[in-house]
């Protein structure tokens, strides 16, 4: 079931007609169904959402949605959009933290284009004190993502970190490597349908790996982000940190905008740093479908939303 739902929603996410239908109704008004997970299609809406989130005492990272671009022009446009986003964030005075995907910057075209584009973002980001997180995409991209990250790390870029997925067998080695470098890691379970040759298929295995990796990051990582809505994972990390006498400033929790607001508020009120991943932009459909795949019960509110809007 765990892998099954992901597979179904993954194939649906490639359906052009479903995308058209969802795009028509998903963002039409403030109450439309996709708004639960996505701040809006414009940067102004993302800034407004960020202000609300920060006013509630939480931190933010902004993600300009887009992935798997096919041409150098599209990758260039995404890069320019990110550079503009930095300016907007500085002017708005909200927190300086962004997340991005390498296939949005041209990883599928060629590696050099992608590295150049990433540098075009990291340079101004560094000058303005931003932290830039590279999201982790599905497993065909894992090695390239980490290679590109290390290339830039060797060039002394330090305002950048990666996300690693507990679902993948390889991740223990990757955590070790990032700990050696002193690089910041966001630990997630993994949002993609992966083959058995590279990834655990059962939730208990993914969860056990998550707790193991979280402990490695808490012991010897650099300000790791424990990114999950799973109360068992959160309690495991929290208890381990307390047992070892690690302060709350040694790590942060991260959650996705719109998911488990109760838990976000609870952790924050206990004095933990909680950062919300806030996505925005017109290309929201694949992100949205991954959220449905994680919790098929979400389909209910989508169907109600479509019927209401029609």
Write out the residues near ligand FDA by the rule CB under 6 A.
135-136, 163, 165, 188-192, 227-230, 254-256, 259-260, 277, 291, 294-295, 298
Q: How far is the CB of 307 from ligand FDA (least distance, A)?
A: 20
Catalytic pick among 63, 133, 135, 275: 135
135 counts as catalytic: yes
Nearest alpha carbon to residue 201 among 211, 189, 213, 212: 189
Choice between 115 and 233, CB closer to ligand FDA = 233
Structure tokens that stand for 18 in this block = 């479903």
CB of 1 to ligand FDA, least distance (A): 12
CB of 259 to ligand FDA, least distance (A): 5
Which residues, 6+ apart, have CB-to-CB distance to 155 below 8 Å? Answer: none
Distance CA 28, CA 34 (A): 9
**Ramachandran angles phi, psi of 33, nearest 5°:** -65, -35
Q: Give 97 or 165: the residue with its C-beta nearer to ligand FDA.
A: 165
224 vs 186: CA distance, rounded Å: 6
Closest distance to ligand FDA from the beta carbon of 61 (Å): 7
| 87 alpha carbon, distance to own chain's centre | 21
Nearer to ligand FDA, 19 or 189 (CB): 189
Q: Which of 186, 238, 290, 291 is labelled catalytic?
A: 186
Are the CB atoms for 254 and 274 separated by under 8 Å?
A: yes
Quickly count helices (H) and strands (E) in the chain. Answer: 12, 8
112-114-119 Cα angle (round to 5): 95
Q: Token digits for 103? A: 């296939």
Question: How many other C-beta atoms can be found within 10 angstroms of the C-beta atom of residue 85?
Answer: 23
Least distance from ligand FDA to the Cβ atom of residue 137, Å: 7
Torsion region of 57: left, alpha or beta (phi above 0 gives left; psi -120 to 50 gives alpha): left
Closer residue to ligand FDA (CB): 192 or 200: 192
Q: Is 77 helix (H, G, I), strand (E, B) or coil?
A: helix
Written as six digits, the tokens of 236 are: 């495991």
Report the residue number, 112 or 297, with the smaller CB distance to ligand FDA: 297
User: Residue 207 CB, nearest distance to ligand FDA (Å)?
Assistant: 7
Shorter beta-carbon distance to ligand FDA: residue 97 or 298:
298
Q: Distance between CA atoms of 257 and 227, rounded to whole angstroms?
A: 12
Active site residues: 135, 186
């Amino acid at each position: 079931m765990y892998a099954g739902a992901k597979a179904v929603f993954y194939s649906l996410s490639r359906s052009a007609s479903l995308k058209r239908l969802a795009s028509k109704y998903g963002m039409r008004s403030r109450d439309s169904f996709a708004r639960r997970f996505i701040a809006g299609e414009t940067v102004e809406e993302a800034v407004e959402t960020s202000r609300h989130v920060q006013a509630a005492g939480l931190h933010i990272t902004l993600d300009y949605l887009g992935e798997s671009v096919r041409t150098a022009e599209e990758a260039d446009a995404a890069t320019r959009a990110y550079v503009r986003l930095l300016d907007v964030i500085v002017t708005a005075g909200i927190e300086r933290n962004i997340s991005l995907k390498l296939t949005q910057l041209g990883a599928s075209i060629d590696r050099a284009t992608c590295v150049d584009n990433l540098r075009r973002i990291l340079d101004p980001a560094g000058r303005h004190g931003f932290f830039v997180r590279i999201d982790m995409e599905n497993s065909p991209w894992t090695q390239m993502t980490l290679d590109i990250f290390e290339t830039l790390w060797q060039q002394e870029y330090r305002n950048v970190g990666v996300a690693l997925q507990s679902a993948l067998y390889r991740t223990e080695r990757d955590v070790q490597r990032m700990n050696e470098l002193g690089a910041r890691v966001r630990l997630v379970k993994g949002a993609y349908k992966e083959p058995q040759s590279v990834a655990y298929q059962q939730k208990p295995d993914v969860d056990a790996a998550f707790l193991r990796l979280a402990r490695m990051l808490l012991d010897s990582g650099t300000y790791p982000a424990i990114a999950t809505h799973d109360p068992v994972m959160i309690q495991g990390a929290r208890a381990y940190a307390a047992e070892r006498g690690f302060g709350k400033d040694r790590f942060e929790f991260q959650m996705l905008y719109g998911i488990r607001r109760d838990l976000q508020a609870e952790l924050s009120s206990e004095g933990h740093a909680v950062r919300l991943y806030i996505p925005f932009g017109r290309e929201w459909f694949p992100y949205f479908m991954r959220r449905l795949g994680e919790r098929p019960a979400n389909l209910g509110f989508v169907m109600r939303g479509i019927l209401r809007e029609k």
